[in-house]
Amino acid sequence: MKKTILIAAIAVVLSLQTKAQQGLKEGDKAPGFSGIDQNGKTVALQNALKAHRNVVLFFYRGQWCPYCNKHIKELQDSLNLLTKKDAYIIGVTPETKENIAKTIAKTSAGFSILQDKDDEIMKAYRVNFVMDEGTFTKYKGFGINLEENNGNTRHTLPVPATYIIDRSGKIKYVHFDPNYQKRASVSLLLSKL
């Protein structure tokens, strides 16, 4: 019970920290990016949009986040439905390649996941925020060490946002909610593709 109350308190603190974040909006031009996914494949937004009608780009916090794992599993379970609509799925996270492998083991994710090692993609999409020292310490008390998980000392996490980007490079759908427990449902994504 104490752990549940503390997690709820942390959620409130993180929501307050991320209120300043706005994310990109529908109609904005999607910033280009590229990276190496978990399979060693170079993934570039521009190339994905040449090959597919849409890209579903989502940001997740890490393998330690049960809400992230649930969302990734839901995307994986519906991957066939998403790809039938000619969508290419890309996940972006600050966690290390070793921790991305843990995410994949937990979720069976079969789509591209990129490590945003220097927070460049998160910054470009305006989803990055820095966890304050007190919250970092609380997370560490729960066994969640962002420095180990992300391989740096920045304490940066993304708002778990989702963007649908059309072939022209415009953002046609945005799910941006500072409450990390709320994610875009697969049925909603399918309706927007």
Tens-level pLDDT at each residue, the chain (193 residues):
544 444 444 544 444 444 446 889 999 999 999 999 999 999 999 999 999 999 999 999 999 999 999 999 999 999 999 999 999 999 999 999 999 999 999 999 999 999 999 999 999 999 999 999 998 999 999 999 999 999 999 999 999 999 999 999 999 999 999 999 999 999 999 999 9
Helix (H, G, I), strand (E, B) or coil at 109: coil
* Planar angle of CA 120, 170, 108, nearest 5 degrees: 60
DSSP state of 170: B
Q: How far is it, in rounded angstroms, from Cα 137 to Cα 161?
A: 24
Which has the closest alpha carbon to 87: 74, 100, 98, 78? Answer: 78
- The answer to whether 126 and 89 have CB atoms below 8 angstroms apart is no
Query: Can you count the helices (H) and strands (E) in the chain?
Result: 9, 9
Domain architecture of the chain: domains with CATH: 2-192 (3.40.30.10)
